Amino acid sequence: MSLKNNLRILVVDDMSVSRALITQALDEIGITNYQTANDGKGALAMMASNPVHLVISDFNMPGLDGLQLLEALRMNKSTQRIGFILITGRADKEVIERGQKLAMNNFLKKPFTTPQMKQCIEQVVGRL
C-alpha cells in the first residue's frame, strides 16, 4: 500500500470554507484518510483517541491558535512526534520563527495551490 493510502491527517481550521479548500486539495492529491476539526481544543481531543501522522492547521483560530496547538502537541509524549504543517495568510517572520522554535515541520501560505500543498506534505512525510 502506498504512503497516500496509509497517511492519516487531521485538518484543523475554524472556517468551514478553508477546511473545504484544504480537504479538496487532499482529495485532488489522492489522500482520503483525513479528519477535520474546527478548533485546536477539538483537535487535541480527537488525537487523544484517534492518533494521526500529520496535522495541517490554520494559524489564526479562536481559543488555541495553530502555534498553541503545535506547542500542546510537542509537550505531550504521545503526540510530540506528529508532523505539523501550519497554514497561514500571515507568514511573517515572527510567526514562522515561533513555529520553528516549536519544531513545526513546514508551513504553507494562503492562498495555496494543490501542487504547493502536495510539495509541502512531501517535504514532511516523503514522496506520495
For the chain, give percent helix, strand, coil, nearest 5.
45, 20, 35
Q: Is residue 127 part of a domain?
A: no
Q: Is residue 78 part of a domain?
A: yes
Instruction: Tell me the average pLDDT of the chain.
Output: 94
Which CATH number do you get for residue 24?
A: 3.40.50.2300
Mean pLDDT across the stretch 96-113?
A: 96
Give me the residue label for grid cell 479562536: 62
Residue 1 pLDDT greater than 70, yes or no = no
Per cent of the chain over pLDDT 90 is: 88
Cell of residue 50, nine digits: 484517534
- 58/18 Cα distance (integer angstroms): 9
> From the CA atom positions of the chain, what is the Rg in Å?
13
Tell me the per-residue pLDDT of 26-63, one tens digit each, with 9 for 90 and over: 999 999 999 999 999 999 999 988 889 999 999 999 99
What pTM was estimated for this model as a whole?
0.96
Q: Is residue 128 part of a domain?
A: no
Total domains in the chain come to: 1
- 71/48 Cα distance (integer angstroms): 15
